[in-house]
Chains A and B, each alone.
Chain A
Amino acid sequence: MKEIRYIRAITEALREEMARDPRVLVIGEDVAVPGGSFSATRGLLEEFGPKRVKDTPISESAIVGLALGAATQGLRPIVEIMFMDFVTVCMDQIVNQVAKARYMFGGQYRLPLVIRTPCGGGLNAGPQHSQSLEAWFAHVPGLKVVMPATPYDVKGLLKSAIRDDNPILFVENKALYGLKGNIPEEEFLVPIGKAEVKREGRDVTVVATSRMVHEALQAAESLSKEGVEAEVIDLRTITPLDRETIFRSVGKTTRLVIAHEAVKDFGVGAEISAMVAEEMIDCLDGPILRIGAPYAPIPFNPESLYLPNREDVIQAVRRVLAY
């Protein structure tokens, strides 16, 4: 095992997959010479050359469309969109073109392309650089949406994403880029579409994504001192959603809290809540509670009053247990 930061785990995944498969290439704004806005692609240009690591103009639609066309011809492009907020400027390419091309064309093409993009607050980056928009894309069949929370998962999932023949929106979290964690020295993969029980517990299930996984784990530690054992599930992949892991856990704990950083209303939490209500209402011993950001854009300051945190998780767990 070795200790590594989340951002460097991404770099390792990119480097290993580029070394493994000459069809893999990295395209985006500032990814080559500058090594990426958050340094995820640092060193790749030097190692793999300008043919496979390409700086582009600030033209998100062109970049994503280029990746689509290249993927139809057997290349495996990895695109970086600097902030998740900027996916809005290439929505047609992602939603109408990339997500549809396989299905609409009757399965004629495989589309091995990855769009990496960082979501989330924590940097006081303001309303246009801090959003978590994963629910939008989870709503579009044809895309897979992956959202890792730890250095181990980000590396293993990115490697799997690059090897996957479907288009993948790979949602990193810029507040986690500096997070340290242990990963094996040797190669490993994390399967797409599998949630992970990050902490076992009997009293309540907390399903969390991205940064909120860490908040939920810390909340669970606090709750443990009160004699409450929370089971924390890291969703890791939004779509395809790992329903079984959620059902199994809720079947055991009979209580469910869902925590994400995205705006609570109409989010991933709503989908999971509806799904559990539809399938296992009889098993529940309390209301399903969702934690998310308030229904407002994220302010430049003070961010801390806006972003959901461990205290919100603790309050929700207490509420559902008191029911």
Chain B
Amino acid sequence: MQEKNERGLWLELLRLMIKIRRVEERLLEVFAQGKVPGFIHVGIGQEAVPAGIGSILRPDDFVLTTHRGHGHAIAKGLDLKRFMAEIFGRVDGYCRGRAGSMHMASAEWGVVGSNGVVGGGIPTALGTAFASQFQGTDQVTVCFFGDGATNEGTFHESLNLAALWNLPILFCCENNGWAEFTPLPVHTKLQRLSVRADSYGMPGITIDGNDVLKVREEAGRAVDRARRGEGPTLLECLTHRWFGHFAGDAQKYRDPREIEEVRKFDPILRFQKFLFGRKALTEGDIEKMEAQIRMEIDEAVAFAEKSPVPGKESIGQEVYV
């Protein structure tokens, strides 16, 4: 029974990672076809982080995320149809088409926002966590950001206050080695960003962010601590950004060999290999999973394309209550 449950969890983690990957691949496709207004940022290669963390969160927990936040939103549970409609800028999107990819939020799922400003959403996480503490619930807030955001003032202000007030937050730094077009050694002296936690009085840990089970395990520990009222944690997940900063980024600032190299760290293939080794997965399982995900994405895209573009009358709505 125990083993069966474990296999179920493994397959769920794999399914979630593949789903995030395929959704983002489709987004790149529809973007290239000119169907998506604005710009999008994909996190292909980083799927183990959202999947690992999403798998331990409850529907009533909170997530703050970034411009590269598709995975976090999907892993939190957002309905793919409404998610897709939002990215297409349509009225059936979670934010009625006003947010797009970069600012998506779902009150229903506790995703209090992706954010167009690097580091801009970190202070908001203080507030959702404070509300949980104030109201005496055991909800936890997970705040995602990249390595680049750790040089924003909001990061430092927020970690200090979170530690000081013992707020139930998991600060998750997805360190993919790139702050937009600038590599880590050019923007930060430190090699391990988690050491910054120490200076604020909270635990900090760096893990292999391409190992979904490791992410789940360490994030699980931190989330449990936060739920018990034992305060925040900074978890640095080392991972890789396969594509550019934005869809269509030619990445001239990047060594082509490095772009090739990072694909060796594919968290999905790695986990599949692990599952094959445990005889917990067959090619047939994968095919079934892929087919089901493809269908779900097809439906979501069809739904988004059918959803109306917001009318002029909506422009001035909901500026105020």
Contacts and interface: CB of A to CB of B under 8 A. Distances in A.
Chain A CB within 10 Å, residue with most, of B125, B127, B129: B127
B106 interface: yes
Interface in A45-63: 51, 56-57, 59, 61-63
A232 interface: no
A33 interface: no
Contacts of A303: none
Nearest to B318: A107
A199 B126 CA distance: 46
Contact of A69 (B112, B135, B319): B112
Contact of A107 (B96, B124, B132, B160): B96
A51 B165 CA distance: 11
A240 B321 CA distance: 13
Contacts of A67: 127
Interface stretch (A97-105, A174-182, A272-280): A97-105
B154 A72 contact: no
A144 interface: yes
Given A57-B164, A107-B318, A108-B105, A97 B121 contact: yes
Nearest to A62: B157
A235 B74 CA distance: 47
B127 A73 contact: yes
A75 B131 contact: yes
Interface in A90-114: 92-93, 96-97, 100-110
Contacts of A96: 116-117, 120
Chain A CB within 10 Å, residue with most, of B122, B160, B321: B321
B253 interface: no
A108 B106 contact: yes
A69 B130 CA distance: 8
A173 interface: no
A122 interface: no
Contacts of A93: 120, 123, 154
Nearest to A144: B320
B107 A72 contact: yes
B127 A68 contact: yes
A165 interface: yes
Contact of A109 (B64, B107, B123, B130): B107
B185 interface: no
Interface string B288-321: 0000000000000000000000000000011111
A299 interface: no
Interface residues of A, number: 43
Contact of A72 (B97, B103, B128): B128
A164 B157 CA distance: 28
Given A106-B93, A106-B94, A69 B125 contact: yes
Chain A CB within 10 Å, residue with most, of B124, B129, B161, B164: B124
Chain B CB within 10 Å, residue with most, of A67, A93, A104: A104
A74 B106 CA distance: 15
B317 A107 contact: yes
A105 B129 contact: no
B158 interface: yes
Nearest to A167: B320
B154 A61 contact: yes
A103 B318 contact: yes
Contact of B98 (A66, A69, A73, A104): A104
A66 B96 CA distance: 25
Contacts of A74: 131
B160 to A, nearest CB: 6
B124 A68 contact: yes
B321 A110 contact: yes
A59 B116 CA distance: 21
B320 A62 contact: no
A71 B64 CA distance: 15
A65 interface: yes
A141 interface: yes
A105 B107 contact: yes
Interface string A161-172: 000111000000
A240 B98 CA distance: 22
19 contacts: A51-B134, A57-B161, A62-B161, A65-B125, A66-B123, A66-B127, A66-B161, A68-B127, A69-B128, A73-B127, A75-B130, A93-B120, A97-B123, A102-B319, A104-B98, A104-B105, A105-B94, A106-B93, A107-B317
Interface of A: 25, 51, 56-57, 59, 61-75, 77, 92-93, 96-97, 100-110, 141-142, 144, 164-166, 240
Given A65-B125, A70-B128, A102-B320, 18 more contacts: A57-B157, A62-B160, A65-B122, A67-B127, A69-B125, A69-B126, A69-B129, A92-B154, A93-B123, A96-B120, A97-B123, A97-B124, A104-B99, A105-B95, A106-B93, A107-B318, A142-B319, A166-B321
Interface of B: 64, 93-99, 103, 105-107, 112-113, 115-117, 120-132, 134-135, 141, 153-154, 157-158, 160-161, 164, 317-321
10 smallest CB-CB distances across A and B, nearest first, come from: A69-B127, A65-B123, A73-B131, A107-B318, A106-B95, A106-B96, A62-B157, A59-B157, A66-B126, A70-B127
